[in-house]
């Protein structure tokens, strides 16, 4: 009898520990990966017994209770949009390093949504643009780039030893004039003088390549150029305050 009781207690504890270990893989911040081509980012914060989902495209911000059962996440609505299902179940899986999470609704037979684990604001930024950028940081003599709404961002980095140059509008700098005019069309007239090129440059990109990229800039459309050299973070999924210098 004692052996049976001990075996029962041990088995119960073992199962409980396994479930806690499974849940620990989720704990933290996750954001939809850029290659999913979402119009808006979907962010998830997993806590021990609750999760907060920010889905601006459909339901806004809401929270659920959650638990792991086998390969499923069972969720029960705590707070949020009344149009949401009170109970919801998703299948999940991780990649081998458990820094990518795949989730699909139980009613979906095929498509998994892919999320990256995020630890800070700069990782969130990199995930959003789909690139890794190591800034050549400096600390002195820097000013803020100001309101990000006026920044026409250009990203320069190396990928597989090849220089990548892209914007928020295109994966290359082709048709740059069209991209700029499209960007300016969304800015109110009183803000047009605040528009600037904002360059995010990986420190491994050569000065020769940087100069060749700058030669493509159309000063008749956008006059000012700002080089990002550092930053100040807020919450992990909030806009970063970019710091740097203006070029003459």
Q: Are 62 and 81 in contact (CB under 8 A)?
A: yes
Gap between the Cα atoms of 191 and 129, Å rounded: 25
The reply to whether 158 and 57 lie within a common domain is: no
CATH number at residue 99: 2.40.128.280
Last residue of a domain, one of 95, 118, 141: 118
Per-residue pLDDT tens listing for the chain (248 residues): 544 444 444 444 344 444 544 799 999 999 999 765 556 789 999 999 999 999 887 788 999 999 999 999 999 999 988 778 889 999 999 999 999 999 998 888 778 899 999 999 999 999 999 999 999 999 999 999 999 999 999 999 999 989 999 999 999 999 999 999 999 999 988 889 999 999 999 999 999 999 999 999 999 999 999 999 999 999 999 999 999 999 97
Dihedral (CA of 15, 72, 40, 76) sign: negative
The reply to whether 73 and 163 lie within a common domain is: no
The reply to whether 139 and 196 lie within a common domain is: yes
Last residue of a domain, one of 60, 88, 118: 118
The reply to whether 48 and 84 lie within a common domain is: yes
The reply to whether 129 and 233 lie within a common domain is: yes
The reply to whether 227 and 146 lie within a common domain is: yes
The reply to whether 144 and 232 lie within a common domain is: yes
Q: Could you tell me the residue range of the domain that residue 28 belongs to?
A: 2-118
Count of structural domains, the chain: 2
What pTM was computed for the model? 0.86
């Amino acid at each position: 009898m004692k052996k049976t009781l001990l075996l029962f207690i041990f088995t119960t504890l073992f199962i409980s520990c396994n479930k806690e270990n499974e849940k620990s893989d989720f704990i933290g911040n996750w954001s939809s990966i850029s290659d999913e081509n979402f119009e808006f980012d979907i962010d998830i914060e997993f806590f021990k017994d609750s999760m907060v989902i920010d889905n601006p495209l459909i339901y806004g911000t809401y929270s659920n209770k959650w638990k792991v059962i086998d390969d499923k996440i069972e969720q029960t609505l705590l707070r949020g949009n009344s149009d949401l299902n009170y109970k919801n179940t998703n299948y999940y899986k991780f990649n081998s390093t458990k820094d990518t999470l795949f989730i699909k609704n139980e009613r979906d037979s095929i498509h998994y949504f892919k999320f990256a684990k995020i630890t800070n604001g700069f990782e969130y930024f990199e995930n959003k643009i789909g690139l890794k950028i190591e800034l050549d940081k400096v600390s002195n003599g820097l000013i803020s780039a100001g309101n990000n709404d006026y920044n026409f961002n250009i990203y320069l980095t190396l990928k597989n030893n090849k220089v990548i140059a892209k914007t928020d509008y295109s994966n290359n700098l082709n048709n740059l004039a069209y991209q700029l005019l499209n960007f300016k069309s969304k800015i109110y007239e009183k803000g047009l003088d605040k528009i600037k090129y904002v360059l995010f440059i990986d420190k491994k990109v050569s000065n020769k390549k940087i100069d060749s990229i700058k030669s493509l800039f159309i000063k008749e459309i956008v006059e000012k150029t700002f080089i990002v050299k550092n930053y100040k973070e807020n919450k992990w999924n909030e806009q970063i305050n970019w710091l740097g210098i203006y070029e003459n």
